[in-house]
Amino acid sequence: MKKTVDLLNGNIAGSLAKLAFPLMGMSLFQMAYNLTDMFWISRLGAGAVASIGTGGLLIWLSQGIHNLSLLGGQVYTAQNLGAQDKDMARTFAHAAMWLSTLISLILGALFCFGRTPITAFFNLNDPEVIRNSEIYLAITGGLIFFMLLSKLLTSLITATGDSKTPFIATTIGLLFNMFLDPALIFGWFGLPALGVAGAAIATVFSQVIVFTVLVHHAIHDPYVFSKIKLWVKPDMTACKEILKLGAPLAFQTSLLPLISMYISRIVAGFGDNAVAVQRIGSQVESLSWMATDGFAVAVSNFIAQNYGANNLPRAKKGFFSAFCMLSIYGCCVTLLLVFCGGALFSIFLDSPDVLPMGIDYLRILGFSQLFLCLEILASNSLSAFGQSKLPAVIATVFSLLRLPLVLWLHTTSLGLNGIWWGVSITTICKGVILFISILIFMKFFLKPIQKTESGLQK
């Protein structure tokens, strides 16, 4: 069975669907990773949930920093493949792998050896919660190499038109995770009961499995990867171009979790139950953004390949086809969270002290889900056109505005719900403005790209 999808020819909606649906499934499986952890950890109580919540925010931060290598590597590899220049595509893929490895090792050392002062930032109340947070961060953060390199390989493999291999790899990892989670948390099958540490070990082991499958594919791939010599020094010009394109998005996507960490400090003032609500609610909410992230990777590669081939009409039609698909999905998630939030949240915690707070969280955040989908789609599409600064600036401005809005609203009669409204309102604003921005860009400023010595540049 042919795994690669021809992104330059044929029906646009069909090509997007073939490339995007496995990635959406992969993202939903990744969400299932998190929800599986959450389901079993929640059996240990709200304190255990709060423990892994802090680690989750830091992993989110690391993914933002990793965009330094991921975005440029993906976009330039896809653009050069669209221009039928496989040698240059390999040059950018090689450089991205080196940069990703370096970033991953630095972050892993930071999380492992700096876990105590990092955890202290969150102002957690219970000593047991603090201790478990440090353990979770040391394991999942210290071994973050496997997760981040898997994300890069997924993006690069998808740039070739193959999204089935990452889907298969993620599915295999999920199956291991589903078995190991309860076994290591509760000590099933004669294994030791490790609690939060068991969840962390199960997650990392599953990530290692995914990484191994992707590497195996890369070694045997005749299209791009098998001809890359990793032991050879990467092209410094390619590294520079990757960092140049990735820096704005990396700054923006790193700033958002930093802001969320500060907001988590405010949430912690309402007690550890509020922290647990934020953690569980954000995982349920990931129904929209994780699936959209996967879809957006496919759209980004579709646009980048056609942009590299200077087929601008096809690139633009690809964006509008993606918009129609994602709009339907975003509306469905909004309806699900607004009207079925109680049923979803009670799967994890049904305590009478926590459940009403969880329902409020999902209802309030539910109103912004369509706009979150539009934000992710527009940002990835603009980046595929080589315009990473514009979405980064817009997202950064409204992310920063989130802080004063949250600080004000949580002191009103809204209380804890004021925090959720601050997040939801700024998400809606970002989605609307970014969507309008890409429409204006494609109508008035989109031009063919030209070949330079460093690859495909504007």
Share of the chain above pLDDT 70, in %: 93
- 280's tokens: 């569980």
The whole-number pLDDT of residue 341 equals: 84
On whether residue 86 sits in a domain, the answer given is yes
The whole-number pLDDT of residue 265 equals: 81
Cα 248 to Cα 86, 213, 392, 398, distances in angstroms:
27, 31, 6, 15
> Of the given ranges (115-124, 380-389, 400-409), which has the lowest mean pLDDT?
115-124
Distance CA(457)–CA(76), nearest Å, equals: 9
Amino acid at the residue 129: V
Token match 């039609």: residue? 317
For the stretch 143-190, pLDDT in tens is: 899 999 999 999 899 988 888 999 999 889 888 888 888 898 888 888
Strand ranges (E), 381-443: none
If you average pLDDT over residues 337-358, what whole number do you get?
Answer: 84
> Of the given ranges (193-202, 223-232, 318-327, 428-437), which has the lowest mean pLDDT?
223-232
The whole-number pLDDT of residue 363 equals: 94
Share of the chain above pLDDT 90, in %: 42
The whole-number pLDDT of residue 458 equals: 42
Average pLDDT, the chain: 86
DSSP 260-320: HHHHHHHHHTT-HHHHHHHHHHHHHHHHHHHHHHHHHHHHHHHHHHHHHTT-HHHHHHHHH
Phi, psi of 193 (to 5 degrees): -85, 110
Q: Which of 24, 22, 25, 34 is nearest to 284 (CA)?
A: 34
HSE-CB at 308 with a 13 A cutoff on CA atoms is: 28
Residue 396 pLDDT exceeds 60: yes
If you average pLDDT over residues 64-84, what whole number do you get?
Answer: 90
- The per-type count for the chain, helices as H runs and strands as E runs, is 15, 2
On whether residue 131 sits in a domain, the answer given is yes
Q: How confident is the model at residue 348 (pLDDT cuts 50, 70, 90)?
A: confident
On whether residue 76 sits in a domain, the answer given is yes
Phi, psi of 327 (to 5 degrees): -60, -40
Query: 455: helix, coil or strand?
Result: strand
Q: How confident is the model at residue 425 (pLDDT cuts 50, 70, 90)?
A: very high
End-to-end distance of the chain based on CA atoms, in angstroms?
A: 36
Residue span of the structural domain in which 243 resides: 12-450
Q: How confident is the model at residue 46 (pLDDT cuts 50, 70, 90)?
A: low
Amino acid at the residue 378: A
Total domain count for the chain?
Answer: 1
If you average pLDDT over residues 450-455, what whole number do you get?
Answer: 58
The whole-number pLDDT of residue 224 equals: 79
On whether residue 84 sits in a domain, the answer given is yes
Residue 437 pLDDT exceeds 90: yes
Q: What DSSP character marks residue 451?
A: E
Amino acid at the residue 305: Q
Q: How confident is the model at residue 451 (pLDDT cuts 50, 70, 90)?
A: low
Residue 57 pLDDT exceeds 80: no
Q: How many other CB atoms sit within 10 Å of the CB of residue 200? A: 27
If you average pLDDT over residues 375-382, what whole number do you get?
Answer: 93
The whole-number pLDDT of residue 424 equals: 95
Residue 455 pLDDT exceeds 70: no
Kindly give the residue spans of alpha helices, DSSP state H, lying in 309-450.
312-345, 355-366, 369-384, 389-409, 416-440
Nearest 5 degrees, angle CA 51-CA 56-CA 57?
Answer: 110
- 313's tokens: 């009409």
> Of the given ranges (103-117, 125-139, 361-375), which has the lowest mean pLDDT?
125-139
Length in residues, the chain: 458
What is the rounded (10 degree) CA torsion for 236, 390, 150, 10?
A: -100
Residue 456 pLDDT exceeds 80: no
> Of the given ranges (55-59, 274-278, 282-286), which has the lowest mean pLDDT?
55-59
Residue 360 pLDDT exceeds 90: yes
On whether residue 156 sits in a domain, the answer given is yes
Q: Which of 58, 407, 424 is nearest to 263 (CA)?
A: 407
Residue 35 pLDDT exceeds 50: yes
On whether residue 64 sits in a domain, the answer given is yes
Distance CA(437)–CA(388), nearest Å, equals: 12
Question: Do residues 201 and 142 touch, judged by C-beta distance below 8 A?
Answer: no
HSE-CB at 204 with a 13 A cutoff on CA atoms is: 19
Query: 112: helix, coil or strand?
Result: helix
If you average pLDDT over residues 211-224, what whole number do you get?
Answer: 87
pTM more than 0.85? no
Q: Which residues fall within 8 angstroms of residue 452, CB to CB, at 6 or more apart? A: none
Q: Which residues fall within 8 angstroms of residue 2, CB to CB, at 6 or more apart? A: none
On whether residue 383 sits in a domain, the answer given is yes
The whole-number pLDDT of residue 237 equals: 93
On whether residue 277 sits in a domain, the answer given is yes
Distance CA(149)–CA(70), nearest Å, equals: 9
The whole-number pLDDT of residue 276 equals: 79
Token match 């915690």: residue? 349
The whole-number pLDDT of residue 293 equals: 84
Q: Which of 177, 151, 143 is nearest to 38 (CA)?
A: 177
The whole-number pLDDT of residue 33 equals: 66
Phi-psi region of 285 (alpha: psi -120 to 50; beta: other; left: phi over 0): alpha
Q: How confident is the model at residue 138 (pLDDT cuts 50, 70, 90)?
A: confident
Residue 214 pLDDT exceeds 70: yes
If you average pLDDT over residues 342-355, what whole number do you get?
Answer: 81
